[in-house]
Chains A and B, each alone.
Chain A
Amino acid sequence: MIKYIDEFRNKKAAGYLINEINKYSQIKNINIMEVCGGHTLTIMKYGLKELLPENINLLSGPGCPVCVTPQSYIDEAVALSKKKGVIITSFGDMLRVPGTKSSLLNEKSGGADIRICLSSMDAINIAGYNPDNDIVFLGIGFETTAPTIASSIQFAKKNKINNYSVLTSLKTMPEAMESLLKDDKVNIDAFICPGHVSAITGTGIYADIPCKYKKPCVVSGFEPTDMLEAVLMIVNQINNNTAFVENQYSRVVDNEGNIIAKNILNDVFEPYDAKWRGIGIIKNSGLKINKKYEEYDAVKKYSINIKKDNNIGTQCICGNILKGINKPDDCKMFAKSCTPLNPIGACMVSTEGTCNVYYKYKKV
């Protein structure tokens, strides 16, 4: 038994919560978006969709960083991997994401020096061991990961490590959630908010959503009993005709978040209008390296011009899947020409991508 993990997989408590949800959710259909890919994974792994009443519809959202990283970013990383002396360091999932013509995995098999890291600090170590090479870390993620990458950049500056830079594609959640609510095709009644983003930011970042759009927001933990409790909290809010930010994951998340991490993040990054794969540009939804640390920005170091994205593929509906408009089964290529071994869209690549998770746990 692993402490604070297995205990939150309590079958009997889950049974009680499902009964309560059944008892109180009879009134109407409720569309709940779980924004975070980690939550999608829990829902599918534990079969929560099947346990919930039919009128509760769980929709996966845009909270998988690999899935929303634009194709042009992969193209730039591929181009950098071909430069003499450059070592690309990256989280593993990024290697299989298709760019316009190639993926990092293709380049690696062709001889490019591309290394998988579990942490940006691994890339810093690689920089130390390879003083004659230039190390580029592919910095993708949301508010959870951004402070860890900021910390590596601060470390590099403090220790005068000059052969390290970061190609960032960091994004922030609340702006994306709000953009979905402004989209007429999207039909969301409530959000299950990402737990580990909130651990850094605090619950305060969601305050606008219940205020402006009257949609309940519940921050949830990642174990199945956590998520069922979060669904019950949403059902109760809807039944009571209220909308506010509620925190199911209070063992990790509080109102103000991790102030030290936020200070590190704000020291290194500044907001910009970021491009989301399949969605488009969302105002102030990205984080880029600011002027103070610009020597660690791979975009500046290598004078990269971000080009326009080409279409991913004529039939790929990743964009609609990321917005909760469609489900993977609606895609003609799902589990046919697009599989985890041969992904066409980015949602099939990441282990938290909606299509990948559906493929794995729906046993297609």
Chain B
Amino acid sequence: MCLAIPMMVVKKDGSSGFVEAGGVEYKVNFDLVPDVGIGDYVIVHAGFAIKKLDQNDADETLRLFKEMENL
């Protein structure tokens, strides 16, 4: 129910716009994260972008996982 996935903002016009993941575009409402822009990643739930994903933080976690591969 609280299922939500990261998707990239591809179009935005005020409150509504489109996000994309794996080639699928999906219409969402941006009222809960009004300040995001094209190219940002947002967490999408129930037709709304609910939070901006911190790409620097995500990349840092992925770097740590990469390091673990060799430990």
User: A residues within 8 Å of B by Cβ?
Assistant: 2-5, 7-8, 10, 12-13, 16-17, 36-38, 63-66, 91, 93, 118-122, 140-142, 144-145, 147-148, 151, 155, 194-197, 199-200, 222, 225, 250-253, 258, 260-261, 264, 350, 352
Q: Are A37 and B1 in contact (CB under 8 A)?
A: yes
Inter-subunit contact A3/B2 (CB<8 Å): no
B69 neighbours in A (Cβ, 8 Å)? 10, 12-13, 16
Report A-chain residues with C-beta under 8 Å of the C-beta of B5.
5
Q: Which residues of B contact A7 (CB under 8 A)?
A: 62, 65
Are the CB atoms of A145 and B51 closer together than 8 Å?
no
B10 at the interface (CB under 8 A from A): no
| Least CB separation from A63: chain B residue | B2
- B43 touches which of A36, A63, A250, A252 (Cβ 8 Å): A252
Name the A residues within 8 Å of B33 (CB-CB). 258, 260-261
Does B32 lie at the interface of the complex (its beta carbon under 8 Å from any beta carbon of A)?
yes
A269 → chain B closest CB, angstroms = 15
Alpha-carbon distance between A195 and B50 when the two chains are bound, in angstroms: 12
CA distance A151 to B41 in the complex (A): 21
User: Interface residue count for B (Cβ, 8 Å)?
Assistant: 34
Q: Which residue of A lies closest to B5 (CB)?
A: A5
Interface of B is mostly: mixed
Interface string of B10-53 (1 = CB under 8 A from A): 00000000000110000001011110000001010111101101
Q: Which residue of A lies closest to B58 (CB)?
A: A251
Say yes or no: B3 contacts A38, CB within 8 Å: yes
Q: Which residue of B lies closest to A149 (CB)?
A: B46
Chain A residues with Cβ below 8 Å from B46 are: 91, 118-120, 141, 144-145, 148
